[in-house]
């Protein structure tokens, strides 16, 4: 029996095991929506904005490890989704995006709702396809999922003209495997490199493990734990890597980088051996490259050869799947002598005793840090926490202790405001059994509040923790430090009544203004198992994120809250923003 | 330093713009770019000349290798290789200039591919440097139009991009 292109496409998605699609219909994809309507195995989630679709699919992927799928129409449908696609690309998140295109005969004619989707997304996808023939559909979908989910993962776009979804053909069976001569995925690393790394590790007197998002995306958390515990080394994690190693473990030094802990950054600076696993040496982590790890030999494990020595020259580069590389290293290190590092631990404990995350409380004022600590207490550290971008993101990363992977979901690379709410919705659909909290600010949340409507329609009970300080806090903090307190456009005037906003979408809204109400409100919110609760929490408008490495400085030049004056910045430093 | 990067890639629509886009998005410089299908019609070979230090070239090669359409990348300048470029140039010829132009055509072993009353169209193939030298020796005011193909190149001896790729 002949099937049309849309039916073949939907059947292909079924063959890939797709259970949810996040999308928004339009003229160019109506045939696909018609085919989806007849498909019981796939649930379509109708978002209110295509950016929300991409972020929701992204949150779904990060929470579950399954490849999220986004479906949008041509023209404004795909351009709206671009921010979400770029967000996934920067954080190496697998995703398949299907965009409708105007009929083949109209491509290039400036047709209604025509845009060059392949051209527009080229620089923010791992790969993209324009389907030109109905017979290409099955192979293209197979390739897209293969490319998106293997190697260094990333989003893959498939642009499909409307006429191809309408045409009919006798369907081919869905392929079991895919052969691509131009795309080979590295897996096991060269054993000579493993041996060289093992030799270096066995000489280290001041070692540190520096792990990142690659350990989560590569499902390498068990190997990372085993490796770090076997050696007894301290470990620090990037913003993207939180949860791959338990934050509450005694070997964990917490996050490193611009707002990382004192002990993590000092240990990086003084280390003689850095084992970097699934990280990309982002500028927010390295601070001033010239002052980065001056005494260390660096071993870098990464699946993407182009990430090696991109920002920092490394001594041993191991290209391979981080899960396999770490298991090879675990075996290798069993036969190796390890140095006594008790003096190194003594030094680290001295740095730890500085307690760089300490903060001043003020009577009657809710501190944002307290909100996150209370959230941790109330959820017993078990929730999935998504965040938007800004001060609240850093506080969530610093004060929520992530002991498990795939529980901390934020836009680390692109820094996308508006990410948190749709990502929380996607995470809740992926993991309905877990509590999901979206930590946000009054600036970020207003970039995506329309998704409150989607959350009502599909009953995704998320708890929204709005740290409302009336400012674009991170912008205000930078203006305070570097622009002599000229708060240009960082003040959010005319805020909505968030409680009424939530209620207008059928959710529960709670305003929290007093510190004694904070914990009861959080307890009440998480008691509401089936309802989305919007907690509008008025927090200290003057609070800043500490500790902090001022731009242009090195890891050993951190500023601590209340103890250091912000040094005046030079132009080189400001440029590094 | 000047590098000649040779790329074997799938002969598919959009492959050229992916490569060119990679250069522009990362601020890498392209001096010249040639692309055409190989004897295998599913494969294209692209030759790019870029001037940058070795570290940048290493990054470029890594990023090129990351593109899904790219099968193989070689920095020809790192091996023994042959490079050629083709020039077509039209010059104005009159009684005063003809002697010098004829002399240059002989000296560089050019081919005259078209001659009209007062215009020569000259063909020259060779290393880019040779073409630059030839153009420099012509009287600039007499040059009417210049068209250069950009560099193509190939490894010497038993090193190949296509066979066994």
Return the CATH number at B128. Answer: 3.30.70.1150
Longest dimension (CA), chain A: 75
Contacts of residue B25, defined as CB under 8 A and 6 or more positions apart, other chains included, come to A123
**Which of A219-228, A480-489, A564-573, B41-50 is the least confident region?**
A564-573
- Residue B97: its pLDDT value, please? 85
**Catalytic one among A16, A50, A263, A373?**
A50
For range A426-450, the mean pLDDT: 98
- Residue B165: its pLDDT value, please? 44
User: Predicted ipTM?
Assistant: 0.89
Nearest chain A residue to B11 by CA distance is A182
CA distance B44 to chain A (A): 12
Spatial distance between the Cα atoms of A167 and B42, rounded to a whole number of angstroms: 26
A112 in active site: yes
Torsion sign across C-alpha atoms A360, A366, A372, A378: positive
Is the CB of residue A556 less than 8 Å from the CB of residue A265? yes
- Residue A565: its pLDDT value, please? 59
May I ask the CATH architecture of the domain A3-169? 3-Layer(aba) Sandwich (3.40)
Q: Is A97 helix (H, G, I), strand (E, B) or coil?
A: strand
Q: Which site among B8, B17, B63, B66 would you substitute to test the A interface, given the most A Cβ atoms closer than 10 Å to its Cβ?
A: B66
A162 in active site: yes
**Catalytic one among A14, A113, A347, A450?**
A113
pLDDT band at B140 (very low <50, low <70, confident <90, very high): confident
Q: Which of B79, B114, B138 is the last residue of a domain?
A: B79
Specify if B163 maps to a domain.
no
Specify if B140 maps to a domain.
yes
For range A470-497, the mean pLDDT: 94
Co-location of B66 and B18 in the same domain:
yes
Instruction: Tell whether B56 lies on the interface with A, counting CB pairs under 8 A.
Output: no
Instruction: Tell whether A303 lies on the interface with B, counting CB pairs under 8 A.
Output: no
Q: Where are the domains of chain A?
A: 3-169, 191-352, 368-538
For range A241-248, the mean pLDDT: 98
- Residue A569: its pLDDT value, please? 52
Nearest chain B residue to A304 by CA distance is B66
Q: CATH: 3.40.50.970, 3.40.190.10, 3.40.50.720, 1.10.287.3510. Which one for A368-538?
A: 3.40.50.970
Is the CB of residue A77 less than 8 Å from the CB of residue A100? yes
Specify if B97 maps to a domain.
yes
- Residue A573: its pLDDT value, please? 54
Cβ–Cβ gap B66/A119 under 8 Å: no
**Which of A417-431, A550-564, B9-23, B82-96 is the least confident region?**
A550-564
Q: Hey, which bits of A7-154 come out as E strands?
A: 20-23, 43-46, 68-72, 95-101, 127-130
**Residue B26 belongs to a domain with what CATH number?**
3.30.70.260
- Other C-beta atoms within 10 Å of A565: how many? 6
- Residue A437: its pLDDT value, please? 98
% residues pLDDT > 90 (chain A) = 92
Residues of B in contact with A180 (CB under 8 A): 68
Co-location of B13 and B59 in the same domain:
yes
For range A555-564, the mean pLDDT: 84
End-to-end CA distance of chain B: 27
CA distance B80 to chain A (A): 25
Reading the block at residue A118, the tokens are 């392949």
**Catalytic one among A126, A142, A143, A162?**
A162
What would the pLDDT profile of A44-83 be if each residue is shown by its tens digit?
999 999 999 999 999 999 999 999 999 999 999 999 999 9
Q: What is the SS3 string spanning chain B?
A: CEEEEEEEEECCCCHHHHHHHHHHHCCCCCCEEEEEECCCCCEEEEEEEEECCHHHHHHHHHHHHHCCCEEEEEEHHHCCEEEEEEEEEEEECCCCCHHHHHHHHHHCCCEEEEECCCEEEEEEEECHHHHHHHHHHCCHHHEEEEEECCCEEEECCCCCCCCCC
Specify if B162 maps to a domain.
no
Say which of B10, B62, B71 has its CB closest to residue A305.
B62
Which residue matches tokens 């949810």? A20
- Residue A576: its pLDDT value, please? 52
Say which of A123, A182, A308 has its CB closest to residue B10.
A182
Residues of A in contact with B14 (CB under 8 A): 118, 122, 128, 130
- Residue A60: its pLDDT value, please? 98
Co-location of B67 and B102 in the same domain:
no
Cβ–Cβ gap A183/B68 under 8 Å: yes
A474 in active site: yes
A50 in active site: yes
Reading the block at residue A297, the tokens are 């030999």
Co-location of B139 and B107 in the same domain:
yes
- Residue A492: its pLDDT value, please? 86
pLDDT band at A448 (very low <50, low <70, confident <90, very high): very high
Cβ–Cβ gap B69/A182 under 8 Å: yes
**Catalytic one among A112, A172, A503, A566?**
A112
What would the pLDDT profile of A262-277 be if each residue is shown by its tens digit?
999 999 999 999 999 9
Q: Which of B22, B55, B79 is the last residue of a domain?
A: B79
Co-location of B58 and B75 in the same domain:
yes
Reading the block at residue A293, the tokens are 């790890």
Cβ–Cβ gap B59/A306 under 8 Å: yes
Rounded to the nearest integer, the mean pLDDT of chain A is: 95
What would the pLDDT profile of A123-172 be if each residue is shown by its tens digit?
999 999 999 999 999 999 999 999 999 999 999 999 999 999 999 999 99
For range A89-98, the mean pLDDT: 98
Spatial distance between the Cα atoms of A321 and A319, rounded to a whole number of angstroms: 7
Task: List alpha helices for A65-155, DSSP H.
Answer: 76-90, 117-121, 137-149
Say which of A123, A128, A182 has its CB closest to residue B70.
A182
Instruction: Tell whether A104 lies on the interface with B, counting CB pairs under 8 A.
Output: no
A377 in active site: no
pLDDT for A503 beyond 80: yes
Instruction: Tell whether A142 lies on the interface with B, counting CB pairs under 8 A.
Output: no
Instruction: Tell whether B14 lies on the interface with A, counting CB pairs under 8 A.
Output: yes
Co-location of B61 and B101 in the same domain:
no
**Exposed e or buried b per residue across B44-58, where buried means at least 16 C-beta atoms within 10 angstroms of its C-beta:** bbbbbbbebeeebbb
Is the CB of residue A414 less than 8 Å from the CB of residue A389? no
- Other C-beta atoms within 10 Å of A456: how many? 15
Co-location of B36 and B94 in the same domain:
no
Reading the block at residue A29, the tokens are 């994809």
Co-location of B129 and B72 in the same domain:
no
Spatial distance between the Cα atoms of A213 and A228, rounded to a whole number of angstroms: 16
Strands B43-51 and A252-255, sheet pairing: unpaired
Instruction: Tell whether B24 lies on the interface with A, counting CB pairs under 8 A.
Output: no
Spatial distance between the Cα atoms of B32 and B150, rounded to a whole number of angstroms: 5
- Residue B95: its pLDDT value, please? 87
Question: What secondary structure does DSSP assign to A144-158, as a single string?
Answer: HHHHHHSSS--EEEE
Spatial distance between the Cα atoms of A411 and A90, rounded to a whole number of angstroms: 8
Is the CB of residue B90 less than 8 Å from the CB of residue B121? yes
The number of distinct structural domains making up chain B is 2
Cβ–Cβ gap A119/B25 under 8 Å: no
Q: Which site among A306, A309, A314, A319 would you substitute to test the B interface, given the most B Cβ atoms closer than 10 Å to its Cβ?
A: A306
H or E stretch at A500:
helix A498-504
- Domain with B31, as residue range(s), is 2-79
Residues of A in contact with B69 (CB under 8 A): 182
**Which of A236-240, A309-313, A508-512, B103-107 is the least confident region?**
A309-313
Specify if B67 maps to a domain.
yes
CA distance B69 to chain A (A): 6
- Residue B48: its pLDDT value, please? 97
CATH number for region A191-352: 3.40.50.1220
Cβ–Cβ gap A182/B9 under 8 Å: yes
Nearest chain B residue to A129 by CA distance is B14
* Closest C-alpha among A273, A353, A349, A284 to residue A314: A273
Q: Which site among A104, A117, A130, A182 would you substitute to test the B interface, given the most B Cβ atoms closer than 10 Å to its Cβ?
A: A182
Q: Which of B32, B51, B79 is the last residue of a domain?
A: B79
Spatial distance between the Cα atoms of A85 and A82, rounded to a whole number of angstroms: 5
Reading the block at residue A375, the tokens are 């959230």
pLDDT band at A551 (very low <50, low <70, confident <90, very high): confident
* Closest C-alpha among A550, A478, A557, A567 to residue A265: A557
Specify if B23 maps to a domain.
yes
Cβ–Cβ gap B17/A119 under 8 Å: yes
Q: Cis peptide before A547, with omega less than 30 degrees from 0?
A: yes
pLDDT for A568 beyond 50: no
What would the pLDDT profile of A301-335 be if each residue is shown by its tens digit?
999 999 888 889 999 999 999 999 999 999 999 99
pLDDT for A513 beyond 70: yes
Spatial distance between the Cα atoms of A363 and B156, rounded to a whole number of angstroms: 78
Say which of B14, B66, B69 has its CB closest to residue A306.
B66
Spatial distance between the Cα atoms of A360 and A366, rounded to a whole number of angstroms: 11
Co-location of B38 and B90 in the same domain:
no
Co-location of B18 and B49 in the same domain:
yes
Specify if B65 maps to a domain.
yes
Spatial distance between the Cα atoms of A63 and A46, rounded to a whole number of angstroms: 20
Co-location of B61 and B91 in the same domain:
no
pLDDT for B66 beyond 90: yes
Co-location of B17 and B74 in the same domain:
yes
pLDDT for A198 beyond 80: yes
- Residue A55: its pLDDT value, please? 98
Which residue matches tokens 């007093």? A514
Cβ–Cβ gap B59/A130 under 8 Å: no
Is the pTM higher than 0.90? The answer reads yes
* Closest C-alpha among A55, A68, A123, A134 to residue A98: A68
pLDDT for A290 beyond 80: yes
**Catalytic one among A255, A266, A425, A474?**
A474
């Amino acid at each position: 029996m002949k099937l049309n292109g849309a039916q073949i496409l939907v059947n292909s998605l079924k063959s890939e095991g797709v259970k949810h699609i996040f999308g928004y219909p339009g003229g160019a994809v109506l045939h696909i929506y018609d085919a989806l309507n007849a498909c019981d195995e796939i649930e379509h989630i109708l978002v209110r904005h295509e950016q929300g679709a991409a972020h929701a699919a992204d949150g779904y992927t990060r929470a579950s490890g399954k490849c999220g799928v986004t479906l949008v129409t041509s023209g404004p449908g795909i351009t709206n989704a671009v921010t979400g696609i770029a967000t996934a690309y920067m954080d190496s998140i697998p995703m398949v995006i299907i965009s409708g295109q105007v009929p083949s005969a109209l491509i290039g004619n400036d047709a209604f709702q025509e845009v060059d989707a392949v051209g527009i997304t080229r620089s923010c996808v791992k790969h993209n396809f324009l389907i030109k023939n109905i017979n290409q559909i099955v192979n293209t979908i197979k390739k897209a999922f293969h490319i998106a989910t293997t190697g260094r993962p990333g989003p893959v776009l498939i642009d499909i003209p409307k006429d191809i979804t309408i045409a009919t053909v006798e369907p081919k069976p869905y392929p079991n495997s895919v052969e691509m001569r131009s795309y080979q995925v590295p897996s096991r690393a060269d054993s000579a490199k493993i041996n060289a790394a093992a030799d270096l590790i066995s000489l280290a007197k001041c070692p540190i493990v520096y792990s990142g998002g690659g350990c989560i995306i590569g499902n390498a958390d068990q190997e990372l734990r085993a490796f770090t515990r076997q050696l007894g080394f301290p470990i620090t994690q990037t913003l993207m890597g939180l949860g791959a190693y338990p934050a509450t473990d005694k070997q964990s030094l917490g996050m490193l980088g611009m707002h990382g802990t004192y002990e993590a950054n000092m240990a990086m600076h003084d280390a003689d051996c850095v084992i970097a696993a699934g990280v990309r040496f982002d500028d927010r982590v390295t601070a001033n490259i010239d002052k980065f790890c001056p005494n260390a030999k660096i071993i870098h494990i990464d699946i993407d050869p182009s990430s090696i020595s991109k920002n920092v020259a490394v001594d041993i580069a191991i290209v391979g799947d981080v899960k396999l590389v770490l298991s090879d290293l675990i075996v290798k290190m069993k036969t190796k002598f390890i140095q006594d590092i008790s003096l190194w631990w003594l030094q680290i404990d001295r740095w730890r005793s500085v307690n760089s995350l300490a903060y001043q409380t003020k009577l009657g004022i809710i501190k944002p840090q307290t909100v996150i600590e209370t959230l941790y207490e109330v959820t017993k550290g078990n929730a999935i926490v998504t965040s938007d971008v800004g001060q609240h993101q850093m506080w969530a990363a610093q004060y929520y202790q992530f002991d498990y992977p795939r529980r901390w979901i934020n836009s680390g690379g692109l820094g996308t405001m508006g990410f948190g709410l749709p990502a929380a919705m996607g995470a809740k659909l992926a993991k309905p059994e877990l509590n999901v909290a979206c930590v946000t600010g009054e600036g970020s949340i207003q970039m995506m509040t329309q998704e409150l409507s989607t959350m009502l329609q599909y009953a995704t009970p998320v708890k929204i923790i709005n740290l409302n300080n009336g400012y674009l806090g991170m912008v205000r903090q930078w203006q305070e430090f570097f622009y002599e307190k000229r708060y240009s456009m960082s003040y959010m005037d005319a805020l909505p009544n968030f409680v009424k906003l939530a209620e207008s979408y059928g959710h529960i809204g709670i305003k929290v203004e007093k510190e004694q109400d904070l914990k009861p409100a959080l307890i009440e919110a998480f008691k509401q198992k089936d309802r989305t609760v919007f907690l509008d929490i008025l927090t200290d408008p003057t609070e800043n994120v500490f500790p902090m490495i001022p731009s242009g400085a090195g890891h050993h030049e951190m500023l601590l809250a209340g103890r250091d004056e912000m040094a005046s910045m030079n132009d080189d430093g400001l440029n590094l923003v | 330093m000047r590098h000649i990067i040779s790329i074997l890639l799938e002969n598919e629509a959009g492959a050229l713009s992916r490569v060119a886009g990679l250069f522009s998005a990362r601020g890498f410089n392209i001096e010249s770019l040639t692309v055409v299908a190989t004897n295998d019609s599913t494969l294209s070979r692209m030759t790019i000349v870029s001037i940058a230090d070795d570290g940048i070239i290493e990054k470029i090669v890594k990023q090129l290798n990351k593109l899904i359409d790219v099968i193989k990348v070689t920095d020809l300048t790192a091996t023994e290789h042959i490079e050629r470029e083709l020039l077509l140039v039209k010059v104005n010829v009159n009684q005063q200039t003809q002697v010098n132009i004829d002399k240059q055509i002989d000296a560089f072993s050019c081919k005259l591919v078209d001659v009209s009353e007062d215009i020569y169209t000259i063909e020259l193939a060779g290393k880019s440097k040779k073409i630059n030298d030839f153009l420099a020796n012509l009287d600039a005011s007499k040059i009417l139009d210049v068209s250069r193909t950009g560099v193509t190149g190939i490894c010497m001896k038993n090193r190949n991009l296509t066979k066994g790729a």
